[in-house]
Structure 1
């Protein structure tokens, strides 16, 4: 991996699309930042979002580009609309959901980088069962600690 000594740029309209667990656009890969960070956009349908999960390797920063989202992190719950942001620590169970009535849009930065590759890998491997998804996720230091239906 190269050293992060030059700007990593993602011009408007560029990025690598990935259709896995919804639509994502990978804007900056860890390889472009010496592993320092990765960045992607997530387009989240109304009522959707990932189950409760833990990132063992990276912190996440979310910026709401459009829509209204609820974020759960440990015992905290926060609602954010367009322009709001939140940083979530690695090793702590969290999730988010689009609580609005229309598709929401997030910019997500992970540090260190690497997790942004999860969505293209899922798109290519097409896991079908919860066990297959968990296996791919484990390779990215992502674990699902419990059944999401038990979390408000």
Structure 2
């Protein structure tokens, strides 16, 4: 049984991370600085700061297992999300909830690095997928092909959509 009632949340410890601390992953050129991983929260959620250089972001993709929420701490990102008629331009202070089964992707369209606070519920699969992307980048030393990224993502219930022509 995998319901909340079957989990013993009393075994979780409070978690504190000072600024600039916590696990960090390079996810296809975007730094994820974790505030809490799913392993810290009884697999309920993950929270990380995405540090997004200009021109970088996440390709269009669909989560089959997780909901995601984005809060822009600084900078500006252009988000394409299924259900919106036009891409959304999110600046500092903007918030977006992207439910599972809705295609979405984003790109930093500004000239400065963008910083996003991202919440994934649950987060364990994404944590492992991002760790796999980080490891792939370290092994290959260059940006992997979209087919390789898609094959890894598929293992974690994430569908990568090819770029539009």
8 Å Cα contact 1:4-1:36 kept in structure 2: no
C-alpha displacement of 1:124: 1.4
Please say if 1:49 is aligned against 2:57. yes
Q: Which runs of 5+ in 1 are unaligned?
A: none
Q: Match for residue 24 of structure 1?
A: 32
User: What's the TM-score once normalised by structure 1's chain length?
Assistant: 0.86
Distance in 2, matches of 1:122 and 1:111, equals 20
Distance in 2, matches of 1:48 and 1:7, equals 34
Q: Match for residue 74 of structure 2?
A: 66
Q: Match for residue 163 of structure 2?
A: 148
User: What's the TM-score once normalised by structure 2's chain length?
Assistant: 0.80
Deviation by residue 1:52-77 (Cα, 9 ceiling, x = unmatched) = 11011100010111101121111413
Larger radius of gyration: 2
Two-structure CA RMSD over aligned residues (Å): 1.9
Q: Which runs of 5+ in 2 are unaligned?
A: 1-6
